[in-house]
Structure 1
């Protein structure tokens, strides 16, 4: 375990938390744009379950150097704060784990034994990808291990793999062209709806309007991996070196803004580092929890 690896993952976590906290400030009525201008709301900005769970991912990596699934489930359950906006199925799972339940059984109760295909595994995984910078294959393997603890459905797993691989590629030295970047992600994502959506995002890279792209790819309104991950990768592929522009591009599509911006923020921050995040935004963001301090 190197300080550089920990540093990249911390930067990604910080960018994820910032995207989550600022994104959560925007209320978006159905079929309405997120906002009319790039004006940030008053501080403070509080992060949500996206950040709380991502903190556990990084904490477990720092402890073990790999995804220890039992420790990850225990950390999710121990630090579960109902008021952070958890979905009902995840909240129930974590409560039952705290009471002694087996995550291996509980996580597969939804969708006829396949488990949830929500975006929860994808929203928290970017720091894991940054941890494995330049090694997308290992990022994919570890992302799968992290996903199945709460979201074992193949589409949820595919979404987590896609985000982790994107962060691993973003954190590498060379700056890939947008199409090359998405091609690199597609190499590791298993067949299914998420992969098809990313392939469609690859074809839409010439589109400039986020609303147009989201009309095809989704914007997280369904809170599903296939409705969330392809659009966020479209946004970050086009703005991989510019955190602020990546945020506004992602948020402009509306939908599940805290989650889409957490994903986008974690990926871009894996590349630009903490120094690439807007200082005034960081000042407005709620600090990370004390228990998430990485040794």
Structure 2
């Protein structure tokens, strides 16, 4: 495949910024006073703070920048070190990261969640887009590394599959000439293990020609149940259909409700990998909380240094 640059850090940074911006804007629509702004497609009051989605994505990027691949122990340590309870983490992850900080084994804690089933939530998918952009030159490696990143907190096959799907979609988005929506989703499906996430993406592929997000949400879900299979198929549908237009992609995604910060984070991370930082609305960038220095991305976001 032809990618935009041989520098892995650049597309991954683009994706991280788009993820954080989508997350931060989407999170504003949980505030009742801002729901009218969403209906009118108007910017809510700033500043916009990102949530656990972006915080965990920063750890993914930081580990890739440090190691060039997913070192699971290093990723678990970064998640635990930078865990901010007030960013909106789910209760099971809050507990897991607290116990890791206290010396617990992330392997035992993650595999023991939900009576030993592991988590099938959307948390591994929400943070993984920069990884897909990092490995845009090798879709199989993007899928393998995404699975490694997921297993630190999500060991259920559906939780892992959600991360694999988003990573592969983001890798495809870095392509200068990304496939048409149905072909885009076909290529994702080739690398996603069978299960509920795979089935949902297959359904999204069947809706690739449908312009109505309401129909897509009715068939695919919108993250209301915070499960990977309820979140990832719609997010991929929205990204595939709006890969050239970040603003349109985010408004369409946010307008469907559900787990808005997470769906917007996933869509934002995928689309920004294609359009780059310059494709993100300048007024939105100015409203967004800067990324933390420890992430190791370009300094100065929302106004990156050139």
CA distance in 2, matches of 1:63, 1:253: 37
Determine whether 1:63 maps to 2:79.
Answer: no
Unaligned runs of 5+ in 2: 299-306
Q: Give the 3-state SS of the residue equivalent to 1:22 in structure 2.
A: helix
CA distance in 2, matches of 1:254, 1:130: 27
| Residue of structure 2 equivalent to 1:106 | 109
CA contact (8 A) 1:27 1:34 kept: no
Q: Give the superposition deviation at 1:89.
A: 0.2
Unaligned runs of 5+ in 1: none
CA contact (8 A) 1:219 1:254 kept: yes
CA contact (8 A) 1:117 1:154 kept: yes
**TM-score normalised to structure 1 length:** 0.96
| Residue of structure 2 equivalent to 1:218 | 221
CA contact (8 A) 1:211 1:252 kept: no
| Residue of structure 2 equivalent to 1:196 | 199
CA distance in 1, matches of 2:117, 2:72: 18
CA contact (8 A) 1:73 1:149 kept: yes
| Residue of structure 1 equivalent to 2:239 | 236
Deviations 1:158-201 (A, max 9, x none): 00000000000000222211111000100100000000000000
1:252 is aligned, of 248, 251, 255, to 255
Determine whether 1:161 maps to 2:170.
Answer: no
Determine whether 1:36 maps to 2:39.
Answer: yes
Distance verdict in 2 for CA 1:180–1:136, change over 3 Å: same
**TM-score normalised to structure 2 length:** 0.92
Q: Give the superposition deviation at 1:3.
A: 7.2
Aligned residues: 292
Deviations 1:114-133 (A, max 9, x none): 21100000000000000011
Determine whether 1:127 maps to 2:135.
Answer: no
Q: Give the 3-state SS of the residue equivalent to 1:110 in structure 2.
A: helix
CA distance in 2, matches of 1:140, 1:5: 16
The CA RMSD over aligned residues, in Å, is: 1.6
Moved over 6 A (4+): none
CA distance in 2, matches of 1:24, 1:177: 30
2:175 is aligned, of 172, 175, 187, to 172
